[in-house]
């Protein structure tokens, strides 16, 4: 069964360093989402792509976060510089046009900022 792939699984970095997370959605899924999940809370949407275009980045802290999906397939989320408050799980999800609004999630990247 196809799955959303994310890497790395874990990332430890120091404050003010740059970090990047990668996501490969299920093949053929046009919509890709990045969520942030702080410990003890539900996931919160950061950015949504439709193919290679951003359709919603209203919750993305654009002074330090950026996201791209250049060829409309895999995606990268970057933080520069990282801050202590960025420590969280970063989840990627994808959805096909015919998937009845069902989003499929990756295993996530756990970020710890020291």
- Is 1 a binder of other proteins (CB under 8 A)? no
Sequence-distant (≥ 6) Cβ neighbours of residue 89 within 8 angstroms: 36, 37, 38, 39, 108, 109, 110, 111
Nearer to other proteins, 18 or 55 (CB): 55
Nearer to other proteins, 46 or 82 (CB): 46
- Is 71 a binder of other proteins (CB under 8 A)? no
HSE-CB for 17 with a 13 A CA cutoff:
12
Binding site for other proteins (CB under 8 A): 3-4, 31, 33, 40-45, 48, 50, 55-56, 91, 95, 100-108
């Amino acid at each position: 069964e196809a799955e959303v792939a994310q890497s790395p699984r874990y990332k430890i970095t120091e404050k003010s360093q740059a970090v990047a997370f990668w996501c490969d959605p299920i093949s053929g899924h046009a919509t890709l989402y990045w969520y942030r999940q702080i410990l003890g809370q539900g996931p919160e949407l950061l950015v949504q792509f439709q193919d290679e275009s951003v359709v919603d980045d209203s919750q993305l802290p654009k002074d330090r976060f950026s996201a791209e999906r250049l060829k409309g397939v895999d995606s990268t989320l970057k933080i520069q510089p990282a801050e202590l408050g960025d420590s969280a799980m970063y989840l990627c999800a994808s959805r096909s046009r015919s998937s009845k609004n069902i989003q499929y999630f990756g295993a996530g990247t756990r970020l710890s900022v020291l």
